[in-house]
Amino acid sequence: MASALLYYFLILIFGIPMHECVAVLRDGRCVIEEPCFDLSVMANVAELVSKDVIALDGEKILLKHSSFDKIRKKKNLHSCVLQKIIDLFQDVLDKTNGTYVHKNEEINHHHELIHIMDQLRNCVYKKKNRCKKLYKMSDITTTSSPMVNILKKMNPNQLAVLQLQKLKSASKRVSDVHIQEKVMDELKSLHLYVQGKGFRKNTND
C-alpha cells in the first residue's frame, strides 16, 4: 500500500511538469520548440486576398488532394515540389500586387501575403541534390493530363513529376490573366498542400 502511494506521488511530481511542458525534455529541462510557421495565418490572409476571386472551371494547377497526398508523405518529393509551388504563387502575387487590394482596408493584405510566402520558404526542407534530379526528370518526361483512373495508379515519383510539369506550364504563362486568376483561386487552399513531410514543423527540425 505504501509503495503504491509513493509511486502515485512520484507520478504527480514528475508527470505534471512534463504535461505542462508540451515540448521536449532534454537533460532534465523543458525545451519549448517554437513552430517554424503558422499556416493558419497564411490561410486567413490568403482568404482575405482572394475572397473576390471566382472559382474557375477547368483543370487545376495543383493536383487533387487524393493524388497530392502521395507526394506529401515523401519528404524529398514534397520539399522539392513545395519550392516550385512557392515560386509560382509568389510570382503571381508579385505580378498582381495592387490588383486585388480591397478598398477601406487599413492593411495591404496582398503585400502582407508576399512577405508571408518568404517566411514560408524558409520552413521548407532544402534538398538541392535530390531536387535537381527530380527537376531534370520533369524536364525530360512529357506527360499529358492523365485520366482519373490513371492518376490513382501513379506512384509518388510520377505524381511529383506531373505536378512539377503543371507548375512549369503555368509559370511559362504567368502573365496570362487566366493563369493568374487560377493561382489566386487556388491560393485559398494552398495551406493544405504545405502540410506534410517536406515542411518543417518547428524551428529545431
Would you list the domain boundaries of the chain? 1-32, 38-194
29-38, 95-104, 147-156: which has the minimum mean pLDDT? 95-104
d(CA 154, CA 158): 6
Q: Could you tell me the pLDDT band of residue 203, with boundaries at 50, 70 and 90?
A: confident
In the 8-state DSSP scheme, what is residue 189?
G
Question: What pLDDT score was predicted for residue 130?
Answer: 82
Global pTM exceeds 0.95: no
Give 97-164 as a 3 state SS string. Answer: CCCCCCCCCCCCHHHHHHHHHHHHHCCECCCHHHHHHHHHHHHHCCCCCCCHHHHHHCCHHHHHHHHH
Residue 148 has pLDDT above 80, yes or no: no
The label of the residue with cell 490588383 reads: 99
Per-residue pLDDT, 93: 94
Confidence label for 50 from pLDDT (cuts 50, 70 and 90): confident
Residue 101 scores a pLDDT above 80: no
| Distances, alpha carbon 137 to alpha carbons 27, 104, 124, 126, 160, in Å | 45, 47, 21, 18, 10
Q: Provide the 3-class DSSP secondary structure of residue 6.
A: helix
Q: What is the pLDDT of residue 51?
A: 82
CB–CB of 172/87 below 8 Å? Answer: no
